[in-house]
Amino acid sequence: MKKIWILSVLLSGVLCAAYSQASISGLTNNVTTITEDSTQRTILYVYREGRFVGAAIGYDLYVGDQLVGRVKNNSKFEVVLPKTDKVEVWAKTESKDAVMLEIKPGEKYYLKCSLKMGIAVGRPDLTLVDSRQGEADYAKVKSSKK
């Protein structure tokens, strides 16, 4: 009985991952643009370092209500942010994590994404890091969103 339960949990995880990947198949660029005007672009550099624990778990990342990319193990991508004062950047699996950005034109922001342990699935952990640390971490991530 225990083996059947474990197989059911694993199978549902695989099906959820496959569905999530299919639902965002239109996101194929390394840069997602939310605003049309490219002068004084504000860029959010999103990255997740490679880790063994939780390597198979990914989650969608949103800026406001717009899906901007899929955060996977050992991945990175850029998002050109809208010209607003504040915006919420968030992700959700079994629970939601979010950070508020006070956008300044021409600035670069670095968002370090990782996972925390959850009951059934890992939970997103989003952290804004300073430019020096973020630039170094971002450069270390080898793969990019394709």
**More confident site: 18 or 71:** 71
Structure tokens belonging to residue 110: 């670095």
- The Cα–Cα gap between 37 and 124 comes to 31
Task: DSSP for 82-110, please give it.
Answer: PSSSEEEEEEESSSEEEEEEE--TT-EEE
pLDDT band with cut points at 50, 70 and 90 for residue 6: very low
Query: What residue type is 79 in one-letter code?
Result: V
Cβ-proximal residues to 106 (8 Å cutoff; 6+ apart), any chain: 40, 41, 42
pLDDT digits (tens, 9 = 90+) for 21-65: 433 333 444 555 554 555 578 999 999 998 877 777 889 999 999
Question: Tell me, what DSSP letter sits at residue 8?
Answer: H
Q: What are phi and psi of 51, to 5 degrees?
A: -135, 145
Question: Given this model, what pLDDT does residue 17 score?
Answer: 44
- Cβ-count burial of 46 within 10 angstroms (0-12 exposed, 13-18 middle, 19+ buried)? buried
Q: The domain at 27-140 falls in which architecture?
A: Sandwich (2.60)
**Could you tell me the residue ranges of all domains in the chain?**
27-140
Q: What is the chain's mean pLDDT, rounded?
A: 77
Instruction: Indicate the pLDDT class of residue 143, thresholds 50, 70 and 90.
Output: low
CA distance linking residue 126 with residue 109, whole number of Å: 13
Higher-confidence residue: 113 or 14?
A: 113
Interval 83-96: pLDDT, tens = 888 999 999 988 89
- Of the chain, the end-to-end C-alpha distance in Å amounts to 40
- Model pTM greater than 0.75? no
Instruction: With residue 132 as reference, give the H or E element that holds it.
Output: helix 131-140
